[in-house]
């Protein structure tokens, strides 16, 4: 039998078949996420750079933004970022510079006397300035990534552990030989361990919430407030004597410099030992208080 339908040209048949193929669903395309195209253009002005690299949600962060950044470093960083954007260095490359600057800060403390403390003070400020710039480069070029966040953590964890170790070496009178000097190096290592544990508590909160399927915490006022009245009162009292904030690299280098000035009158090694002996028990108190505040807050509540 011969079909009554007229013969279809092969090309027409192909077009008919193509028209019947299911088209990609829009929701399916959105499920793969929006592809961010890196921005290779350079800012035309500092104002334009600030609008992109320093949005309100960055300047308004409660915990992630250090007080030196809010006070003056964010006013200087756009000019450094402007220069960096004229080069081919990546945002992660800038973070690498931040890490090296932090390590240099700790190494500077091995220079005896006030000279080493003054150099560490300057390098500590420089590290925070570069720390502002890496995020600004990433936001302008639209190249933010988990690798950048990881490198930033590496920089702060290592710097804030190396500085107390270097302080222990200063307190021991580096270079040293006497066995009794190892008491001070041990205290420096203990201080470094407590500082790292204290920093890790914040990251543990984020890991715990992620594993529990909870949303990411907003970096704003009230998220970390304790829900228990007694703990809340103790937390408010601690704001009048904020010793728990002494263990950031900036504050540590400031304290070491102040005691180095004191050391001009009572002896540099003695001044470093007084500072180290004071910091160790206070750091333990800050660690315990931080743990209690976290457990009493809604951050670890589902």
- CATH number assigned to the domain comprising residue 188: 1.20.120.1760
Q: Is residue 9 part of a domain?
A: no
| Model pLDDT, residue 100 | 98
Q: Is residue 219 part of a domain?
A: no
Alpha helices in the chain (DSSP H): 10-20, 26-31, 46-53, 56-59, 67-68, 74-84, 91-108, 113-141, 146-171, 182-211, 229-238, 249-266, 268-295
Q: Structure pTM?
A: 0.80
| Model pLDDT, residue 64 | 62
Q: Is residue 50 part of a domain?
A: no
Q: Is residue 14 part of a domain?
A: no
| Model pLDDT, residue 18 | 45
Q: Is residue 21 part of a domain?
A: no
- How long is the chain? 302
- Residue span of the structural domain in which 207 resides: 66-213+225-300
Q: Is residue 35 part of a domain?
A: no
Q: Is residue 57 part of a domain?
A: no
Dump pLDDT digits (tens) for 224-268.
555 555 555 555 555 555 656 788 999 999 999 999 999 999 999
Domain count, the chain: 1
Using CA atoms, how far apart are residues 256 and 62, in angstroms rounded to an integer?
26
**Is 147:93 a contact under the CB 8 Å cutoff?**
no
| Model pLDDT, residue 104 | 98
| Model pLDDT, residue 297 | 82
Q: Is residue 97 part of a domain?
A: yes
Dump pLDDT digits (tens) for 175-216.
777 777 899 999 999 999 999 999 999 999 999 999 988 888
| Model pLDDT, residue 13 | 46
Low-confidence ranges of the chain (pLDDT < 70): 1-36, 60-65, 219-244
């Amino acid at each position: 039998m011969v079909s009554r339908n007229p013969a279809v040209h092969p090309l027409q048949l192909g077009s008919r078949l193509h028209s019947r193929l299911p088209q990609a669903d829009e929701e399916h395309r959105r499920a793969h996420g929006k592809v961010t195209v890196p921005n290779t253009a350079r800012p035309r002005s500092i104002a334009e750079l600030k609008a992109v690299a320093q949005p309100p949600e960055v300047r308004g962060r409660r915990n992630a933004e250090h007080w030196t950044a809010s006070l003056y470093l964010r006013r200087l960083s756009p000019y450094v970022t402007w220069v960096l954007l004229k080069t081919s260095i990546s945002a992660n490359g800038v973070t690498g510079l931040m890490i090296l600057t932090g390590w240099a800060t700790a190494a500077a403390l091995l220079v005896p006397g006030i000279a080493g403390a003054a150099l560490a003070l300057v390098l500590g400020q420089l590290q925070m300035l570069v720390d502002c710039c890496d995020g600004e480069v990433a936001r302008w070029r639209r190249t933010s990534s988990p690798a950048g966040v990881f490198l930033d953590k590496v920089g702060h964890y290592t710097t804030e552990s190396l500085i107390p170790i270097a302080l222990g070496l200063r307190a021991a009178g580096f270079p040293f030989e006497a066995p009794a000097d190892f008491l001070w190096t041990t205290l420096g290592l203990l201080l470094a361990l407590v500082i790292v544990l204290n920093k890790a508590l914040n990251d543990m909160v984020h890991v715990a919430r992620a594993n529990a399927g909870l949303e990411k915490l907003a970096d704003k006022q009230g998220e970390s407030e304790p829900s228990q009245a007694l703990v809340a009162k103790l937390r408010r009292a601690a704001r009048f004597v904020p010793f728990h904030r002494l263990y950031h690299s900036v504050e540590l280098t400031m304290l070491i410099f102040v005691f180095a000035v004191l050391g001009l009158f009572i002896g540099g090694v003695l001044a470093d030992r007084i500072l180290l002996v004071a910091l160790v028990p206070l750091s333990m108190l800050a660690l315990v208080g931080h743990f209690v505040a976290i457990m009493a807050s809604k951050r670890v509540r589902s």
